[in-house]
Amino acid sequence: MTPLLWMLLFGVCIQGIIKETTQGLGYQVFIIPGVILLTGLTAAVLAGAILLLERLNGTIKEYLVAPVPRLAVLIGSMASGLTKALLQTGVVLVAGYFLDRSFRLQVLSILGYSVL
């Protein structure tokens, strides 16, 4: 929800102040990569905070008593944060496309960079 608010409040409001570039790209095109980066960083910090809170509450000890490998607990926590970040990134990309039609969603480029 927060990335959408950033795009709506700052992107739409500041877009009227800043003139379009010579290529005809709007301000939303420049703000979308930053919003995606902030979304990923926020998801990583929240995933780490959740892991820390589970450790402080003693929930991690309950996980470690279960007959699963310890690495599975860590991978499960990381997968949860990654899934949330990817879903929010997808929402930001779709919202960026609808807010500024000059934003071109190049799926092959996105898949290529995500592999790296």
Longest alpha-carbon distance in the chain:
61
Query: In sequence order, which ranges of 1-116 are alpha helices (DSSP H)?
Result: 2-6, 13-15, 27-57, 59-65, 70-99, 107-115
* Encoded amino acid at 70, one letter: R
Q: How far apart are CA 28 and CA 101, in angstroms?
A: 9
Q: How far apart are CA 16 and CA 12, in angstroms?
A: 7
Could you tell me the two tokens for 107? Answer: 């799926």
Whether the pTM exceeds 0.75: the reply is: no
Q: State the pLDDT at residue 95.
A: 81
Instruction: Give the pLDDT band (50/70/90) at residue 98.
Output: confident
pLDDT at 24 over 80: no
Q: State the pLDDT at residue 61.
A: 84
* Encoded amino acid at 45, one letter: V
Q: How far apart are CA 9 and CA 3, in angstroms?
A: 10
